[in-house]
Amino acid sequence: MAEEVRLPKLGRTMQDATIINCLVKVGDEVKKGDCVFEIETDKATLEMESPADGFVKHILAEVDQTIPVGTPLLILGGKNEQVSKSFLDSLKTADTTAAAQIPAAVPTNTGTSAKITEADIVEALPVNAAEIKLGGTIPLTKKQRLTAERMLESKRQIPCFYLTVKADVTELVELRTKLNENAPSAGGTKISYNDFIIRAVAISLQKFPIMTGQLAADSIKLPRTINVGLAVSTPNGLIVPVVKDVQEKNLKQIATATKKLVEKAQNEKLLLTDLEGACITISNLGALGMDSFIPIVIPGQCSILGIGRITDTCTPENGNVTIRKLMNMTLSVDHKVANGAYAAQFLDFARKFLEDAGSLV
Protein backbone atom coordinates (compact mmCIF):
# COMPACT_ATOMS: atom_id res chain seq x y z
CA MET A 1 0.00 0.00 0.00
CA ALA A 2 1.35 3.42 -0.97
CA GLU A 3 2.51 5.69 1.83
CA GLU A 4 4.01 9.14 1.94
CA VAL A 5 7.39 9.93 3.50
CA ARG A 6 7.15 13.22 5.37
CA LEU A 7 9.81 15.63 6.62
CA PRO A 8 10.46 14.54 10.24
CA LYS A 9 11.13 16.86 13.16
CA LEU A 10 14.80 16.13 13.81
CA GLY A 11 15.39 18.52 16.69
CA ARG A 12 13.70 20.61 19.36
CA THR A 13 14.07 23.86 17.44
CA MET A 14 13.49 22.49 13.93
CA GLN A 15 10.48 24.05 12.21
CA ASP A 16 11.41 23.56 8.57
CA ALA A 17 14.27 22.44 6.33
CA THR A 18 15.68 23.11 2.88
CA ILE A 19 16.06 20.24 0.40
CA ILE A 20 19.72 20.27 -0.65
CA ASN A 21 19.77 17.07 -2.72
CA CYS A 22 17.49 14.19 -3.66
CA LEU A 23 19.38 10.89 -3.52
CA VAL A 24 16.76 8.71 -5.24
CA LYS A 25 14.70 8.74 -8.43
CA VAL A 26 11.32 7.36 -9.41
CA GLY A 27 11.45 3.56 -9.64
CA ASP A 28 14.32 3.10 -7.19
CA GLU A 29 13.95 0.54 -4.44
CA VAL A 30 14.77 1.83 -0.97
CA LYS A 31 15.14 0.04 2.32
CA LYS A 32 14.31 1.40 5.74
CA GLY A 33 17.32 3.46 6.84
CA ASP A 34 18.52 4.30 3.32
CA CYS A 35 19.34 7.98 2.78
CA VAL A 36 16.80 9.59 0.47
CA PHE A 37 17.42 13.34 0.88
CA GLU A 38 20.09 15.74 2.05
CA ILE A 39 18.44 18.53 4.01
CA GLU A 40 19.59 21.71 5.74
CA THR A 41 17.99 22.52 9.10
CA ASP A 42 18.50 25.47 11.40
CA LYS A 43 21.62 23.75 12.72
CA ALA A 44 23.30 21.61 10.07
CA THR A 45 23.16 19.78 6.76
CA LEU A 46 21.88 16.25 7.37
CA GLU A 47 21.05 13.05 5.54
CA MET A 48 17.40 12.04 5.88
CA GLU A 49 16.68 8.31 6.08
CA SER A 50 13.68 6.46 4.71
CA PRO A 51 11.33 5.28 7.49
CA ALA A 52 10.13 2.28 5.45
CA ASP A 53 10.86 -0.15 2.62
CA GLY A 54 9.38 0.34 -0.83
CA PHE A 55 9.76 1.62 -4.37
CA VAL A 56 9.80 5.33 -5.15
CA LYS A 57 6.55 6.13 -6.95
CA HIS A 58 6.54 9.93 -6.85
CA ILE A 59 8.94 12.63 -5.63
CA LEU A 60 6.99 15.61 -4.31
CA ALA A 61 9.76 17.87 -3.04
CA GLU A 62 12.19 19.81 -5.20
CA VAL A 63 15.81 20.73 -4.58
CA ASP A 64 16.22 24.17 -2.94
CA GLN A 65 12.70 24.18 -1.53
CA THR A 66 12.30 25.18 2.10
CA ILE A 67 9.39 23.27 3.59
CA PRO A 68 7.84 22.85 7.05
CA VAL A 69 8.07 19.77 9.23
CA GLY A 70 5.44 17.19 8.29
CA THR A 71 5.33 18.02 4.58
CA PRO A 72 5.15 14.97 2.22
CA LEU A 73 8.43 14.54 0.35
CA LEU A 74 7.93 11.35 -1.66
CA ILE A 75 5.61 8.37 -2.03
CA LEU A 76 6.66 4.74 -1.54
CA GLY A 77 4.70 1.73 -2.77
CA GLY A 78 4.97 -1.80 -4.09
CA LYS A 79 7.04 -2.55 -7.17
CA ASN A 80 4.08 -2.75 -9.56
CA GLU A 81 1.68 -0.64 -7.52
CA GLN A 82 -0.15 2.23 -9.18
CA VAL A 83 -0.71 5.26 -7.00
CA SER A 84 -4.25 6.60 -7.37
CA LYS A 85 -4.97 10.17 -8.42
CA SER A 86 -7.14 10.64 -5.33
CA PHE A 87 -4.17 9.77 -3.11
CA LEU A 88 -1.99 12.30 -4.92
CA ASP A 89 -4.75 14.92 -4.73
CA SER A 90 -4.97 14.42 -0.98
CA LEU A 91 -1.35 15.51 -0.69
CA LYS A 92 -1.65 18.57 -2.93
CA THR A 93 -2.56 20.95 -0.16
CA ALA A 94 0.44 19.93 1.91
CA ASP A 95 2.68 20.06 -1.15
CA THR A 96 1.51 23.55 -2.06
CA THR A 97 2.03 24.71 1.51
CA ALA A 98 5.55 23.34 1.40
CA ALA A 99 6.31 25.11 -1.85
CA ALA A 100 5.07 28.36 -0.38
CA GLN A 101 7.55 28.27 2.49
CA ILE A 102 10.13 30.47 0.82
CA PRO A 103 13.10 31.82 2.81
CA ALA A 104 12.97 35.55 3.60
CA ALA A 105 15.88 36.11 1.22
CA VAL A 106 13.81 34.71 -1.69
CA PRO A 107 11.42 37.10 -3.43
CA THR A 108 7.93 36.02 -4.51
CA ASN A 109 8.39 33.54 -7.33
CA THR A 110 8.29 35.19 -10.74
CA GLY A 111 6.40 32.46 -12.58
CA THR A 112 2.75 31.41 -12.50
CA SER A 113 3.52 28.06 -10.83
CA ALA A 114 3.42 27.60 -7.07
CA LYS A 115 6.90 26.08 -7.38
CA ILE A 116 10.05 28.13 -6.92
CA THR A 117 11.91 28.66 -10.19
CA GLU A 118 15.64 28.60 -10.83
CA ALA A 119 15.54 32.39 -11.18
CA ASP A 120 14.02 32.69 -7.71
CA ILE A 121 16.79 30.53 -6.24
CA VAL A 122 19.52 32.56 -7.95
CA GLU A 123 18.00 35.70 -6.42
CA ALA A 124 18.27 34.08 -2.98
CA LEU A 125 21.89 33.03 -3.16
CA PRO A 126 24.31 34.78 -0.75
CA VAL A 127 26.20 37.72 -2.23
CA ASN A 128 29.71 36.88 -3.38
CA ALA A 129 32.38 38.35 -1.12
CA ALA A 130 33.74 40.33 -4.06
CA GLU A 131 30.35 42.08 -4.41
CA ILE A 132 30.23 43.24 -0.78
CA LYS A 133 30.90 46.97 -0.77
CA LEU A 134 29.74 50.16 0.88
CA GLY A 135 26.22 51.13 -0.12
CA GLY A 136 25.31 47.57 -1.08
CA THR A 137 22.50 45.36 0.19
CA ILE A 138 23.36 41.87 1.43
CA PRO A 139 20.52 39.32 1.66
CA LEU A 140 20.65 37.09 4.72
CA THR A 141 21.09 33.35 4.38
CA LYS A 142 18.72 31.05 6.22
CA LYS A 143 21.36 30.31 8.86
CA GLN A 144 22.01 34.03 9.39
CA ARG A 145 18.30 34.71 9.85
CA LEU A 146 17.92 31.88 12.34
CA THR A 147 21.00 32.98 14.26
CA ALA A 148 19.63 36.51 14.46
CA GLU A 149 16.27 35.22 15.72
CA ARG A 150 17.87 33.10 18.44
CA MET A 151 20.18 35.87 19.62
CA LEU A 152 17.22 38.26 19.81
CA GLU A 153 15.34 35.62 21.80
CA SER A 154 18.32 35.37 24.16
CA LYS A 155 18.50 39.12 24.73
CA ARG A 156 14.76 39.38 25.34
CA GLN A 157 14.25 36.35 27.56
CA ILE A 158 17.56 35.77 29.36
CA PRO A 159 18.48 38.41 31.98
CA CYS A 160 22.26 38.08 32.07
CA PHE A 161 25.05 39.19 34.33
CA TYR A 162 28.72 38.95 33.43
CA LEU A 163 31.83 37.87 35.33
CA THR A 164 35.45 38.24 34.21
CA VAL A 165 38.60 36.74 35.67
CA LYS A 166 42.23 36.39 34.59
CA ALA A 167 43.78 32.93 34.68
CA ASP A 168 47.55 32.46 34.96
CA VAL A 169 48.10 29.72 32.37
CA THR A 170 51.89 29.82 32.31
CA GLU A 171 52.20 26.20 33.50
CA LEU A 172 49.35 25.12 31.22
CA VAL A 173 51.16 26.49 28.15
CA GLU A 174 54.34 24.64 29.14
CA LEU A 175 52.46 21.41 29.87
CA ARG A 176 50.58 21.54 26.56
CA THR A 177 53.83 22.02 24.65
CA LYS A 178 55.36 19.04 26.42
CA LEU A 179 52.34 16.79 25.84
CA ASN A 180 52.23 17.65 22.15
CA GLU A 181 55.94 17.24 21.40
CA ASN A 182 55.65 13.61 20.37
CA ALA A 183 51.91 13.38 19.68
CA PRO A 184 52.03 13.32 15.83
CA SER A 185 54.89 10.82 15.62
CA ALA A 186 53.20 8.59 18.18
CA GLY A 187 49.92 8.64 16.28
CA GLY A 188 48.22 10.64 19.01
CA THR A 189 45.97 13.67 18.90
CA LYS A 190 47.39 17.08 19.73
CA ILE A 191 45.78 18.72 22.72
CA SER A 192 44.40 22.22 22.25
CA TYR A 193 43.85 24.94 24.83
CA ASN A 194 40.11 24.36 24.36
CA ASP A 195 40.53 20.76 25.53
CA PHE A 196 42.02 21.94 28.82
CA ILE A 197 39.22 24.48 29.20
CA ILE A 198 36.49 21.93 28.47
CA ARG A 199 38.00 19.57 31.04
CA ALA A 200 38.21 22.28 33.70
CA VAL A 201 34.65 23.42 33.00
CA ALA A 202 33.30 19.87 33.22
CA ILE A 203 34.95 19.28 36.61
CA SER A 204 33.62 22.62 37.83
CA LEU A 205 30.08 21.86 36.66
CA GLN A 206 30.12 18.70 38.76
CA LYS A 207 31.03 20.84 41.77
CA PHE A 208 28.45 23.52 40.91
CA PRO A 209 25.66 21.62 39.08
CA ILE A 210 23.12 24.46 39.08
CA MET A 211 25.26 25.99 36.31
CA THR A 212 23.98 23.18 34.04
CA GLY A 213 20.32 23.93 34.76
CA GLN A 214 17.34 25.45 33.01
CA LEU A 215 14.28 27.05 34.57
CA ALA A 216 11.20 24.85 34.12
CA ALA A 217 8.01 26.29 35.63
CA ASP A 218 8.67 26.50 39.37
CA SER A 219 11.87 24.43 39.38
CA ILE A 220 15.37 24.21 37.90
CA LYS A 221 15.87 21.13 35.76
CA LEU A 222 19.39 19.65 35.68
CA PRO A 223 20.64 17.36 32.88
CA ARG A 224 21.83 13.81 33.56
CA THR A 225 25.18 14.31 31.84
CA ILE A 226 27.57 17.17 31.17
CA ASN A 227 27.68 18.11 27.50
CA VAL A 228 29.82 21.08 26.47
CA GLY A 229 29.32 23.04 23.25
CA LEU A 230 32.33 24.46 21.42
CA ALA A 231 31.82 27.36 19.00
CA VAL A 232 33.53 26.54 15.68
CA SER A 233 33.97 28.88 12.72
CA THR A 234 33.27 27.21 9.35
CA PRO A 235 33.18 28.48 5.76
CA ASN A 236 29.39 28.70 6.08
CA GLY A 237 29.30 30.45 9.45
CA LEU A 238 29.47 29.70 13.15
CA ILE A 239 28.31 26.33 14.44
CA VAL A 240 28.39 24.76 17.92
CA PRO A 241 29.07 20.99 18.00
CA VAL A 242 28.73 19.35 21.41
CA VAL A 243 31.23 17.17 23.28
CA LYS A 244 29.05 14.61 25.07
CA ASP A 245 29.49 13.00 28.51
CA VAL A 246 32.53 15.12 29.29
CA GLN A 247 32.44 14.13 32.96
CA GLU A 248 33.48 10.61 31.89
CA LYS A 249 36.36 11.69 29.61
CA ASN A 250 39.99 12.41 30.40
CA LEU A 251 41.99 15.12 28.63
CA LYS A 252 43.11 12.93 25.73
CA GLN A 253 39.60 11.58 25.17
CA ILE A 254 38.25 15.11 25.09
CA ALA A 255 40.96 16.07 22.57
CA THR A 256 40.01 13.14 20.34
CA ALA A 257 36.29 13.92 20.52
CA THR A 258 36.85 17.63 19.89
CA LYS A 259 39.10 17.00 16.89
CA LYS A 260 36.49 14.73 15.28
CA LEU A 261 33.72 17.26 15.82
CA VAL A 262 35.76 20.15 14.41
CA GLU A 263 36.67 18.10 11.32
CA LYS A 264 33.03 17.13 10.81
CA ALA A 265 31.99 20.77 11.20
CA GLN A 266 34.55 21.97 8.64
CA ASN A 267 33.42 19.27 6.18
CA GLU A 268 29.68 19.80 6.88
CA LYS A 269 29.30 16.23 8.11
CA LEU A 270 27.81 16.93 11.54
CA LEU A 271 24.75 14.95 12.57
CA LEU A 272 21.92 16.60 14.45
CA THR A 273 22.93 14.56 17.50
CA ASP A 274 26.33 16.31 17.35
CA LEU A 275 24.61 19.65 17.91
CA GLU A 276 22.14 18.96 20.69
CA GLY A 277 22.23 18.69 24.47
CA ALA A 278 24.82 21.29 25.53
CA CYS A 279 24.39 22.76 29.02
CA ILE A 280 27.16 25.35 28.49
CA THR A 281 29.13 26.65 25.52
CA ILE A 282 32.76 27.75 25.19
CA SER A 283 33.66 30.40 22.63
CA ASN A 284 37.36 31.10 22.16
CA LEU A 285 38.40 34.15 20.12
CA GLY A 286 41.99 34.15 21.34
CA ALA A 287 43.32 32.98 17.98
CA LEU A 288 41.75 36.07 16.42
CA GLY A 289 43.66 38.41 18.73
CA MET A 290 40.79 39.27 21.09
CA ASP A 291 41.83 40.03 24.68
CA SER A 292 38.28 39.54 25.97
CA PHE A 293 34.64 39.71 24.88
CA ILE A 294 31.14 39.19 26.28
CA PRO A 295 29.38 36.25 24.56
CA ILE A 296 25.58 35.87 24.31
CA VAL A 297 23.97 32.93 26.13
CA ILE A 298 22.44 30.38 23.75
CA PRO A 299 18.73 29.77 24.48
CA GLY A 300 18.33 26.48 26.34
CA GLN A 301 21.60 26.90 28.26
CA CYS A 302 22.47 28.62 31.53
CA SER A 303 25.77 30.21 30.53
CA ILE A 304 28.49 30.67 27.95
CA LEU A 305 32.21 31.17 28.57
CA GLY A 306 34.19 33.58 26.40
CA ILE A 307 37.95 33.01 26.18
CA GLY A 308 40.46 35.68 25.15
CA ARG A 309 44.02 35.34 23.89
CA ILE A 310 46.95 34.39 26.12
CA THR A 311 49.20 37.40 26.69
CA ASP A 312 52.62 37.87 28.27
CA THR A 313 52.03 40.14 31.26
CA CYS A 314 54.38 41.67 33.81
CA THR A 315 53.23 40.65 37.30
CA PRO A 316 54.71 41.28 40.77
CA GLU A 317 56.09 38.22 42.54
CA ASN A 318 58.03 38.30 45.85
CA GLY A 319 59.15 41.87 45.28
CA ASN A 320 60.22 41.18 41.72
CA VAL A 321 58.51 41.58 38.36
CA THR A 322 58.06 38.42 36.31
CA ILE A 323 56.44 37.72 32.97
CA ARG A 324 53.43 35.38 33.24
CA LYS A 325 50.98 34.17 30.62
CA LEU A 326 47.48 35.41 31.46
CA MET A 327 44.13 34.62 29.82
CA ASN A 328 40.82 36.47 30.25
CA MET A 329 37.71 34.39 30.90
CA THR A 330 34.29 36.07 30.71
CA LEU A 331 31.19 34.18 31.84
CA SER A 332 27.70 35.26 30.77
CA VAL A 333 25.04 33.79 33.08
CA ASP A 334 21.25 33.51 33.05
CA HIS A 335 20.21 35.19 36.32
CA LYS A 336 16.95 33.21 36.31
CA VAL A 337 18.99 30.08 37.03
CA ALA A 338 22.09 31.10 38.99
CA ASN A 339 23.00 34.04 41.22
CA GLY A 340 26.24 36.02 41.13
CA ALA A 341 27.90 34.40 44.13
CA TYR A 342 27.26 30.86 42.91
CA ALA A 343 28.44 31.61 39.36
CA ALA A 344 31.52 33.41 40.70
CA GLN A 345 32.50 30.35 42.71
CA PHE A 346 32.06 28.18 39.62
CA LEU A 347 34.25 30.45 37.47
CA ASP A 348 36.92 30.73 40.17
CA PHE A 349 36.94 26.94 40.58
CA ALA A 350 37.51 26.50 36.83
CA ARG A 351 40.25 29.15 36.88
CA LYS A 352 42.11 27.34 39.67
CA PHE A 353 42.06 24.08 37.71
CA LEU A 354 43.51 25.81 34.66
CA GLU A 355 46.24 27.32 36.82
CA ASP A 356 46.98 23.83 38.20
CA ALA A 357 47.07 22.25 34.74
CA GLY A 358 48.67 19.00 35.88
CA SER A 359 45.46 18.10 37.71
CA LEU A 360 43.60 18.09 34.39
CA VAL A 361 45.76 15.42 32.73
Instruction: Choose one of 39, 74, 101: the last residue of a domain.
Output: 101
* Whether 81 and 229 share a structural domain: no
**Number of independent structural domains in the chain:** 2
In angstroms, the Cα distances linking 271 to 123, 135, 266, 275, 335 are 29, 38, 13, 7, 32
Do 207 and 97 sit in the same domain of this protein?
no
Query: Which helix (H) or strand (E) is 323 found in, with range?
Result: strand 320-334
Q: Evaluate whether residue 16 is within a structural domain.
A: yes
Please check whether residue 134 lies inside any domain of the structure.
no
- Structural domain of 29: 3-101
Decide if 177 contacts 261 (C-beta within 8 A): no
Dump pLDDT digits (tens) for 279-291.
999 999 999 999 9
pTM for the full predicted model: 0.73
Higher-confidence position of 185 and 123: 185
65-74, 128-137, 330-339: least confident range: 128-137
* Stretch 103-132: mean pLDDT: 42
Within a domain: 249: yes
Q: What is the CATH number of the domain that holds 315?
A: 3.30.559.10
Q: Which helix (H) or strand (E) holds 180?
A: helix 170-180
Q: Would you place residue 125 in the very low, low, confident or very high pLDDT band (cuts 50, 70, 90)?
A: very low
Q: Indicate if 88 and 16 belong to the same structural domain.
A: yes
Judgement on whether residues 254 and 348 belong to the same structural domain of the protein: yes
For residues 7 and 74, state if they share a domain.
yes
φ, ψ of residue 63 in degrees (nearest 5):
-60, 140
Q: What is the CATH number of the domain that holds 72?
A: 2.40.50.100
DSSP state of 318: T
| Structure confidence at residue 121 (pLDDT) | 37
The answer to whether residue 113 scores a pLDDT higher than 50 is no
Q: How many CB atoms neighbour CB 359 within 10 A?
A: 12
Q: Is residue 147, in this structure, part of any structural domain at all? A: no
pLDDT at 279 (0 to 100): 95
In a domain, 106, yes or no: no
